Amino acid sequence: MNEAQRVINHFKGIIDSTLREGFQFSRADFSPADQKKIYSTLSRIGIDYVEVGNPIRREIQEMIQELVRSRRPKDPKILCHLRNRSRDIEEASRCGVAGVNILCTIDRERLAAMGLTREKNETLLSDNLDLARAFGLEIRVGVEDFFRQDPSASLRIFKLAQSKGIDRIAVADTLGKAMPWEVFRRIRSLRRRLSLDIEVHFHNDLGHAVSNSLAALDGGANWVSATLLGIGERTGITPLSSLLANLFVLHPDLARRYHLRYLTRAERLVSRLCGIEIPPNLITNPANGFAHKAGIHLDAIVKFGPHKYEIFSPEVVGNKRNLVLHKLLSGKAASADTHSLKRLFASS
């Protein structure tokens, strides 16, 4: 089986975490009205699940409840991100969400600070999985900082989760330091040992979040966590637009499940709410995503068409072409062909 077929066979969907991980971005302060707008645009794109925060704080609980009340039948299911604590699960159940994402630490120092051993933590998790199942919730169990922790300890958590019949496990690269080849190897190893769905959540500190997500899919992961603009703690996580653009190029049959034409609109919304520009390296950036400035580029797209220097048309992601003319680097020939340039502008 080739790589493309493996990914097609394994891939099940995208879990957007703009309203949880994205909320942790230093410039994010989404009001309930903002959250509804973000949720609505994620629904237009066709995202499968939307992850929100922990409802143990009253203000967050009220935000989640309001979001749940606004949900229509075809909108993404809403999941709460929780600690391995019964109180968190009880509060999530009161909010009416579809499921819970329980994050576990296996770091001995962190556990000791909470008065727990790994064994006690696993017993606690077992009880909490029973509780979540009793509430009729979908359940995901994740391991924090997976790529720096003891693989055998992670596997014990995952096998416990599998024995309880939960819906999926999650692997988090919490420090954003994993490399694609390591990701492929570790995910493939999990895939061979477990029958559960695997979700991946990659931070972008070293710039590998998208590549790591693709490597994980190739290794057998089923779900990818992403955010609009890639915002989140520190440098953020996998940008939704970059992930979907890659799927469109590498696995178009999978990308057709989503409405990519809303991506630019969605990321503009979040950039406006956060008071920042869309990063220049994202394909949804209106000035740079499909900008052509160098004379050799302008000359080629005038003579042969935009396909010479565009991996796909800007309309795919709801963006527009930007021809940067009459600059030092743009060249006389391209700048002078105004008729052809106007035609290209009109097509975008």
Residues known to be catalytic: 297
Query: What is the maximum alpha-carbon separation in the chain?
Result: 74
For residue 304, CA distances in Å to 54, 138, 344, 345 come to: 53, 52, 11, 15
CA 49 to chain centre: 10
CA–CA separation, 71 and 64 (whole Å): 11
CA–CA separation, 222 and 35 (whole Å): 26
What number of helices (H) and strands (E) belong to the chain?
15, 10
Token pair 């795919």 is found at: 316
**Helices 180-193 & 151-163, crossing angle to 10 degrees?**
40
Angle (CA) 52 54 58, round 5°? 110
For residue 101, CA distances in Å to 79, 171, 196, 300 come to: 7, 12, 14, 49
- Main-chain phi, psi angles of 142, to 5 degrees: -115, 155
Beta carbons within 10 angstroms of residue 311's beta carbon: 12
Beta strand pairing status for 291-292 and 223-226? unpaired
Instruction: Write the DSSP symbol of residue 237.
Output: B
CA–CA separation, 40 and 269 (whole Å): 11
Token pair 């993404």 is found at: 76
CA–CA separation, 15 and 201 (whole Å): 9
Which amino acid is residue 228, in one-letter code? L
Determine the 3-state secondary structure of 219 from DSSP. Answer: helix
Token pair for 234: 């520190």
Token pair for 185: 């190897």
